[in-house]
Amino acid sequence: MTQTISPIIKPEELLSLKKISGIILIDARAGANAQEQYEKGHLEGALFVDLNTQLASIKSDPSLGGRHPLPSPVQFAQVLTQLGITPESHVIIYDDKNGSNAAARFWWMLKSVGHNKVQVLDGGLDAAIKAGFKLSSNEEIPHNTEAYKVSKWLLPLAEIDEVANAAKDTNFLVIDVRDKVRYDGDKEPIDLIAGHIPGAINIPFTSNLNTDGFYLSPSELRDKYVEALAGKKTEDVIVHCGSGVTACHTILAMAYAGIEFPKLYVGSWSEWSRNKRPIATK
């Protein structure tokens, strides 16, 4: 899918935009007390979106699609309508994890329904505050809009059997973006079993960032992923994480580098590890 605006926006750019034109700013913090933290203080004008209830359709059994399965396109369209987002809206998303959590997931979902003007705030909440953004505890009210119409996900997705076949085929590439300690099987703080998909390579999503928590430059990211792909087409590349959320951070990094979208395995390790699939460790 062709990028017409940069998927990343710097805090200073956002500050200028807020002064001259209307945008829809989204706070996508996640975690047990995310909404409470949002209500205590968010970027002025930002609406809250909830990872678990609005950006996922969580099932009682994570073996069926993982911990954060995608909602249906119809459900997602309802979320966009509730937030006052139209196909013409300029949406800018931030979280408190340098865009690695639900901000990247929401960005991917919007791109996957064909939404053009969507960006993730580089450096996230902390960077915005340092740049001079004011925090607010006010209740933010979305604008009323016509229903956002969504028919299907447009970006490429991979299911568990396709991932299993790709991981065994040297013509394909499966990228695990979790931390190395999880990939190696040394530690698993979230899912039931430690390790990784045999054949998958590890490129932690944190390596997309510099020491200050900002994305590497597009040229640095392009060099990094061109080398990793080693001539493979992006349609033969599958990216996954623990539950299909932080994998979107790497897809965002690739898009920022001008690389076409690879496939996203939404079920990720949370699904794979619960289905008696082979597991490798270091």
75: Cα separation from own chain's centroid: 18
Q: Which of 26, 43, 110, 241 is catalytic?
A: 241
The SS3 assignment for 245 reads coil
Torsion-angle region of residue 219: left (phi > 0), alpha (psi -120 to 50) or beta? Answer: alpha
- For Cα atoms 204, 209, 213, give the angle at the middle one, nearest 5 degrees: 125
Q: CA distances (Å), 53 to each of 40, 128, 171, in order?
A: 20, 26, 37
- Whether 248 sits among the annotated catalytic residues: the reply is no
DSSP run (H or E) holding 171: none
Percent of the chain that is helix, strand, coil (3-state, to 5): 35, 15, 55
Q: Which residues are catalytic?
A: 241
